[in-house]
Structure 1
Amino acid sequence: MDPHLLTTFVTVARHGSFSAAASELGYTQSAISQQIAALEADLGLPLLRRRPVEPTPAGRRLLEHAEPLLLRLRAARADVLRTAAGPRHLLRLAATPLAVNPAVAARLARARARMPRLEVRLRTCRAERLAALVAEGHADLGLADGIAAPSDPLRLPDAGPMTTAGVTEEDLVVVLPSGHPLAGRASLRLADLIDARWLQTPLCPLARLRDLVGDGFPAGLAYEGDDVHTVLALAAAGHGLTLLPASAVPGGGITAVPVAAPRLVHRVELLHAALPPGAAAALAAALTLRPDTQDLERGIKDRSV
């Protein structure tokens, strides 16, 4: 299958519109229709219904294959260009919202002190976008965070050959209002909270808790953003409980109770494609070094894995 035709198909399916896809890709609407027709002729199957524009069952199945295939092609191109590039003093770092904790920020500061000419540009994104940014060459390094069992790797999308390394592991706490009946506990078992109302947020996906603990965890309120201050404000006002790394909870109207069972941690991992010698490789090494006493004194129990 022609990757250009696949790109057109994915774009039309995403927009649900031939005209919107034409505008994005810079083609005429007639050209978009011809490309979809050519792809359907190649497979011998209809892929899109026209009114409304939506994938057929065969089209939905093709989408499952098309997006990973196109990502791997973009990743291959970026990898070839990356290996041919010379040294740069600009480093692009992408991170999920809770990945840059105090220990990671301290390591980054020490690395920059050793490389004074290095310019770092940091952007945040959702976990599902992070691996693609690194694979496609839009970021040199990526920092992903998530909830996991101790020393277990995070579940990251397949974006081609990628190196991952543990950076930190930190204790998790249940965040609840100070007046909550459980606020005075020394620790909490998540199994005892499966019937409580929880916040559904990208920072603590309830589907992940259900995978790790079991069914339950009803959503009291769904917040689609990733601003931790908003999540804390919602928890403080009683909209629902949430689970965060201990270092993300400052106090003040909020109570944070450690999780006793199951044993779970907030894990941060570094991911990158092949790195030629230079600033990116040096920073990758610095971020995955074992933390020093200063990091530990910040209250983060972080361990390189």
Structure 2
Amino acid sequence: MQHGRYRFIVGFLAAPVLLYVVFVISPYVQAFYIALTNWKGVSANPQFIGLENFSRLLDDEVFWAAVRHHGVLLLVMPLVTIVIALFFSFLLNLSGGQKGGQMSGIWGSKVYRVIFFLPQVLAVAIVGVLFQTIYRPDETGVINGLLGKVGIDPVGWLIDPNIALLAIIGVMVWQAVGFYVVLFSAGMSSIPKDVFEAAALDGAGRYTLFFKITLPLLWDTMQVAWVYLGIAAFDAFALVQVLSVDRGGPDNSTTVLPLEIWRTAFNFSKFGYASAMGVALFFMTITFAALTLRVTRRERIEF
């Protein structure tokens, strides 16, 4: 009986595991191998050069510029997104006080959830084209048009190297907030209402409800959100390609590693060097996720 169960489990898992190995693990292994060669994308037998591509990365200024930009993205984008999403989630779920003996959100909260989630259904390319119009450097742009009405000169949102990356981060936050509003709302909905009602009866205000009750009970959800947003910060390929000047400009002020990988491989046919960048990005992402889960680990609160 026991052997029959094992055979059933193995037979049930064999096909999905095989597909995973072929389409996920195998490409990773091939990328690691290609990173050790000087493959140009066409030769059948690339020359093995060992760690030469990785040593070149150490002296590549564009590579390190992209790494610094990922550092800014990791610092700003997840933090701002989570803070805004938590604020709106609290408003939509718990800030309306008690109605019918239960905690509720502000009036029209169901409609607001739909509005917040709308950016999620838009393709990234559409979002990029939309914000190209919003960020135009003259008064035909939406933001500069509004600034012009109050006497402020137009701002080069995407052509000024000092603010171009921050402008793109703003778009990433705008697009991501809706999903995390829904995620945190689901987390708040899973918290027993008795906890909030008891706190409200004891005289707890909105500040106490948010910081002393909601945040500790949402910690696991916030941990997952931080990892997801960090992975998104290591990507950022599509928005940077669509929004930035000359794909990563001006003067490489907005370039990111996925964009450099694509450009190195398909513009310069240096697939071996691009794979080395990809391997570096892979280990950065894995390290970030592991450190985040380790640092933010807390004892689970049961309720």
Q: With structure 2 as the length reference, what TM-score do the two structures score?
A: 0.20
More strand by share: 1
More helix by share: 2
Question: Larger RCO: Structure 1 or Structure 2 (Cα < 8 Å, ≥ 6 residues apart)?
Answer: 2
